[in-house]
Amino acid sequence: MRLARRFGALSVFALFAATSAIAQTTITVSPQGHFRTLAAAIHEAPRHATIVVRSGVYREPTIVVDKPLQIIGDGWPVLDGQGVRQIMTVTADSVTLRGLHFEHVGTSFTSDWAAVRFQTVQGCKVEKNRFDDAFFGIYLAKVNDCVIRGNILRSGRGREMNSGNGIHLWASNRITIEDNHISGHRDGIYFEFVRNSVISGNVSELNLRYGLHFMYSDDCRYLHNTFRKNGSGVAVMFTHRVEMIGNRFEENWGGAAYGLLLKEIDDSRLERNVFYRNTTALLADGANRIQAIGNQFIDNGWAVKLDASTQEGTFTGNNFVGNAFDVAANNSVSTTTFVHNYWDNYRGYDLNRDGIGDVPFRPVRLFSVVVAQNSPSIILLRSTFVRLLDSAESILPVLTPEAIVDRGPAMKRMQ
């Protein structure tokens, strides 16, 4: 009995030691080493091993990672798709990629080739890699509980028709996308049918279409990102319960450009965001129950455009400074409420000095109504005629929406 117990204990110890040894296995890939291709190293590596890839250029057929591994670059090794293929496909759980340089992904409009594609997996990590000249950069399909952090993705293909997205998610859950820099793609970050995910601290700029584009993706949060100089800005569509907090929407200019489009969404929260120098900062079309709190609308063409389909929103404690038009609406009836916002065009008074203006402020200028009906009239924006027109409307409002009014405007800019 004692021998059996001792033998059993030794067996457990041996099994633990063997498992630990496998987990600590490190295989090296280098241009002159025993393993000269990543595919060969993956084939020989035990599960949960670490593969270190030394500096060099590796041109291989599409690499398939079919077991849990850590693949770590040393000296920024280049995985080159030569413009004719997808570089890597991951089909195993718990795969980590770090320190690799992916470049020259082939173009495919039927297969969506990517630098690295994760397919029906969980627990992946993509950290501190570089992606250049990729069709799609990082592509997640039916993936759960993964982290994409600290990567640089650059593409310069020039036209939407031959460009893919930098970070692309489809039918995935609980994904963290953090501290990445994405530029030159069709969409910087793209979500479709994604749930309970967080995008934070990213910079998405100079993309051909959207800095961020997501549809049918409920209960997601977007925190402290910068979306700058993208073709159309950021689009949020057909989605419920989205929080966008502390982001910057900057310099998205063009005839059809905006900082943020909210289309057919419900129960969104916009808090402490900065909208700076956009053609239209915020365009709400069928966006119900928006909560816009403490945002900065600065030096935009139109700060807020409210379509008639947008109802029951609240704008509280926002600053409207230096905009050509603070609010525009295409309907005289609105259930959106404005209260305690700061308007640099407000000329009221505060007799009891409580910080709240005693005279309500109507943020919709008559000239914005004219421009909505006749776009070329925008050329008269700085004219004396328009100033007289606005003055007359402020004294005796007739044509501007009566329902859109801030009955308690702030006298000082909100901090």
| Residue 404 belongs to some domain of the structure | no
Comparing 260 with 389, the larger pLDDT belongs to 260
Give me the phi and psi of 219, to 5 degrees please. Answer: 60, 40
Amino acid letter, 343: W
Please list, in sequence order, all residues whose beta carbon lies within 8 angstroms of the beta carbon of residue 139, skipping any fewer than 6 positions away. Answer: 112, 114, 116, 117, 118, 168
For residue 134, the domain's CATH number is 2.160.20.10
pLDDT tens digit string along 365-396?
665 555 555 555 555 555 665 566 566 555 55
Please list, in sequence order, all residues whose beta carbon lies within 8 angstroms of the beta carbon of residue 54, skipping any fewer than 6 positions away. Answer: 28, 29, 30, 31, 33, 74, 75, 77
Please list, in sequence order, all residues whose beta carbon lies within 8 angstroms of the beta carbon of residue 216, skipping any fewer than 6 positions away. Answer: 192, 193, 237, 238, 239
| Residue 130 belongs to some domain of the structure | yes
Contact between 120 and 141 under an 8 Å Cβ cutoff? The reply is yes
Kindly tell me the burial class for residue 274, based on how many C-beta atoms sit within 10 Å of its own C-beta (0-12, 13-18, 19 or more): middle
pLDDT tens digit string along 46-56?
999 999 999 99
pLDDT tens digit string along 324-372?
999 988 776 678 999 999 999 898 899 999 999 999 998 886 655 555 5
pLDDT tens digit string along 262-278?
999 999 999 999 999 99
Packing angle, helices 366-373 and 384-395, rounded to 10: 120
| Residue 314 belongs to some domain of the structure | yes
Mean residue pLDDT across the chain:
89
| Residue range(s) defining the domain that contains residue 214 | 64-70+77-395
If one counts the domains in the chain, the total is: 1
pLDDT tens digit string along 174-206?
999 999 999 999 999 999 999 999 999 999 999
pLDDT tens digit string along 114-139?
999 999 999 999 999 999 999 999 99
Look at residue 16 in the predicted model and tell me its pLDDT: 44
Look at residue 110 in the predicted model and tell me its pLDDT: 86
How far apart CA 68 and CA 401 sit, in angstroms, is 60
Tell me how many helices (H) and strands (E) the chain has. Answer: 4, 39
| Residue 402 belongs to some domain of the structure | no
Q: Are strands 221-223 and 198-200 parallel, antiparallel or unpaired?
A: parallel
